[in-house]
Chain A
Amino acid sequence: MIRELRILPPLVIARFGGATTPMDNYEAKVDPEHPLAYRRLEPATTFEVNRTTGEITGMFEPPTLQFTQDGLVRPIAPFLELWALTEDDVLEPATLEMLAAEGATAESISWTVEAANLKVFRRTRDALDQVTAKVAAFSDHTPQPLVGTCDHFWPGATIPFGDVQYIKPTPEHPEIRLRITPAAGLVYGSSDTPPGPGRPTDPNLAAVVYNATEGIWRGYTEEGERFQTIPVQLFAGVTEEGSDVQISWGYLDDACDGIVRAALTTDQAMHSASARFATGPPTYVPDAFPIRAVADELEQALRGPHVDSAEPEQVEEIVRRAFESVRLMNTAYLNIAGPGAPVTARSLTDSVALERLHQSLFVALRSGTAPWFSDALREWDQVRDRSETGRKRMPAMMRGADGALMALTRRQVNHVRAQAHGPIFEDPQ
């Protein structure tokens, strides 16, 4: 018997792409024989979904990975799965068989989806600038468009946010799933007059949607604004000569995030569950991970900043991500960018040489050596210390999401510290 429902994972991230076929599944793995190389991208089991019927018609492992199709990026379209916590205290995927045991069918599940892009609203704080999309309860298996509308749009203008599709369970694939297909990753604009037919003259734009005579987004500035974002002025626009005030071009994009809800009504009970999704840009470097990612934030939120015992592989992973990041940075420029003295001697900041130095550090850690650099890590409350001392702390030359100097999460730092005592007291092998 079903006691509760869950949607797993509780958060998925879809990624833009204009191609019609979603990206195949893959994993990024470290090659044990080449630990310093780019992570190996390995094709993984991928569902083939019939867009018309919503059925999974097959599973396959692609022979190669193609990230684009006809010159367009293939979107990442993730699946959400419905799980059930049964009366036996077991968490398992909900299936047709389980529903049948409850006297229910696939059509007994109804989904609702709400999504929004609140970027303009966040700046103007005008509720009429919210771009929202809603899909009312549905149980069929056709793609349900997420259509973003806004009170300040021109009549009939919308921003497509992609679509959601209830995958039709079959005897071969009896699990209950919802697929999110994101938008293409396009930009939309503003005008003073209703847009005409055809493409806008501005080559950046897919369409003009925003009525600049009603809303203030085009021409908006943060000057005098109390509730600025961190960092400030994160919108497309222009600064006039002699000024550092950004003036908005009135652009909008088709990113969104939202909430998915599933409800099951049987004769005995009503159950529901929810999950979140977000859309973002494509992963242009799928074989390298940033030194600090949302996953690290979530892990800290879930498990706390403290670490009970040393986990050497965690420290190795941090250093691996450090040289993966350095590999992508123009370190020679970053060393001297911004006010103050260079972070380090200019002769040392060639990105290849820095990558090699980080790799040498990584190599030493693989021997089990305790990390000796824990004292050089920037603390979470030192991110605004832009003194010469502060800028030299690690990670160097990187900016956090708030525009301040980057610090690892407290949990990451504590992983390094837990390992700092190292294996010097271990028994010899």
Chain B
Amino acid sequence: MQPRINRHLGGLLDTPSDEGVALAPLRPGSGMPPELNGTEWARFLLYSAAGIEHALMVQYLFAAYSLGGPDVPEARRDAVRRWQEDVLGIAKEEMAHMITVQNLLTLLGGPLNFDREDYPFDSGFYPFPFRLEGASPASIAAYVCAESPATWSGPEADAIRGAAHAGGAAPINSVGILYDELLKVVADETVVPDDAFHADSERFQASWSEWGRGYEDGARGTAPGGALHVPVPELLILTATNRETAVTALQQVGDQGEGAEQPEAVEESHFERFREIYRAMTDPAIGDPDRLRRDVGANPTPDEAPPGSTAITHPVARQWAHLFNLRYRMLLIDITHAYELTGGAEEPVNPRGAMINRAFGEMYNLRAIAGQLVVLPAGTDPSGKCAGPPFDMPYTLKLPASQRARWRLHRDLVDTSLRLGEALRQDVTGSGEAYLVALAEVDRRDREDLDLLVTRAQA
């Protein structure tokens, strides 16, 4: 439970959030809590937004990785593969939203937040209960609702909301309500004064040129004849130096989720793309939608499994799951560390650039290991649920105080990866083994670099 978050939400919730009550509908336009001033309220909302974007991203990733499997009819495989790439694209865009939110936190002098809720879900501010589950009409419907504009209504809206609530959960809040509140707060100079915006923080902010990987304005394709004919993600990684640019950034992030008034923006919005997938998935011609994904267990974990989660007990899957969690932690540490290293996008060759490249390498690792997990059983019964990427949060995301200790932390994580990989390699063959051999080589080289960094860093 996170009372330290929930207790500030009273002004926004229709009903108070109690222990055990997962959600209540957000009431937009409410006042800020008494213990926070305007700037702090903006920071709090951004802090929450960061956690939400992170949670959405991993849930979308999980759903995307679950798509596929040998039961998908041949005639549907192109479509399923397109949906997978589309949802992965939306996840990338959520990552970009999270980065933009971190930039705004930096602008307002707030603490960065790469944390998010784990299962079981705790906060009253999330659009729906955090749940890693395979892509189904119900889960896709939940995502549609989470990204929907506040004005969305009509018979289809009612039907999709009903499908999303099939599990009996509370009404799903729209992410847009949070961003609407944030926009009002940040735009209001009587709430957040001008001197709260630190223009000189820009060199600490993440830039699109460093993190965008070319995903902008269709720059990464898809050319006609491209493999999957899927809209290319548009990563909105926006920096800000003042109120005006902060408001613009929030508007753009909100528009990408819900879709603005312009038709072309609506078409590419998360809301619309999820809605299209929902429509396709529930088309009677598609057949049984359960055949379109692997039967992955919800909220998988290699550790003690709380109620509602899936214990990964299969010995090989369990080792892969631990490796996944470790590389996930390495990714989050790389991103956190990158933010704390100075040096802008146009400075040649600096540690920040190296850390960003490491982060992208970890994203590739997560994709690879998730691919191994979804084809393995979660338990010892091969006909039971499949395992899946657990995305368990590490015990901390805090970095040590000194630079040397930080490089030591990276080195410790690499050492752990070498140990886990070596053990796992005794039990796998084929593509899994080929991957582990190559991963070990990368880790060994990384370790050599980190030894140098530890030696050279100041204590």
> Chain A interface (Cβ within 8 Å of chain B)?
32-37, 332, 342, 344-350, 353-354, 356-357, 359-369, 372, 374-377, 379, 382, 388-389, 392, 416-417, 420-429
Contact = CB atoms under 8 A, between A and B. Distances in A.
A375 B72 contact: no
Given A345-B345, A369-B371, A360 B214 contact: no
Nearest to B72: A425
Given A350-B349, A429-B375, A376 B227 contact: no
Contacts of A428: 70, 375-377, 386
A379 B222 CA distance: 11
Interface of B: 67-70, 72, 77-78, 80-81, 84-85, 88, 207, 209-210, 214, 217-223, 225-228, 232, 343-350, 352-354, 356-358, 360-362, 364-365, 367-369, 371-372, 375-377, 386, 429-432, 434-435, 437-439, 441-442, 445-446
B216 to A, nearest CB: 9
Nearest to B372: A367
Contact of A360 (B85, B346, B364): B364
B434 A367 contact: yes
B357 A354 contact: yes
11 contacts: A35-B437, A344-B209, A347-B347, A349-B348, A353-B353, A356-B445, A356-B446, A357-B357, A361-B361, A375-B221, A429-B430
B221 A364 contact: no
Nearest to B68: A424
A362 B219 CA distance: 23
Contacts of A356: 357-358, 361, 442, 445-446
Contacts of A32: 437
A397 B189 CA distance: 46
A363 B439 contact: yes
B87 to A, nearest CB: 13
Contacts of B437: 32-33, 35, 366
A423 B367 CA distance: 13
Given A389-B217, A426-B70, A366 B431 contact: yes
A363 B210 contact: no
Contact of A375 (B223, B371, B372, B438): B223
A347 B344 contact: yes
Contacts of A353: 349, 353-354, 357
Given A347-B210, A429-B430, A332 B349 contact: yes
Contacts of B345: 345-348
A374 B217 CA distance: 17
A379 B217 CA distance: 18
B350 A347 contact: yes
Given A32-B437, A363-B439, A375-B227, A368 B371 contact: yes
Contacts of B228: 374-375, 420-421
Nearest to B349: A350
Nearest to B354: A353
B226 A374 contact: yes
A426 to B, nearest CB: 7
Contacts of B226: 374-375, 417
A427 to B, nearest CB: 5
Contact of A364 (B80, B357, B368): B368
A33 to B, nearest CB: 7
Between A332, A366, A372, the greatest number of chain B beta carbons within 10 A of the residue's beta carbon is seen for A366
Closest 3 CB pairs of A and B: A375-B221, A360-B361, A424-B68
A183 to B, nearest CB: 41
A363 B358 CA distance: 13
Nearest to A360: B361
Contacts of A362: 438
Nearest to B89: A372
A356 B357 CA distance: 8
B353 A345 contact: yes
A347 B77 contact: no
Given A367-B371, A375-B222, 7 more contacts: A345-B353, A347-B210, A357-B361, A360-B364, A366-B437, A369-B371, A425-B80
Contacts of A347: 210, 343-350, 352-353, 356
Contacts of B350: 347
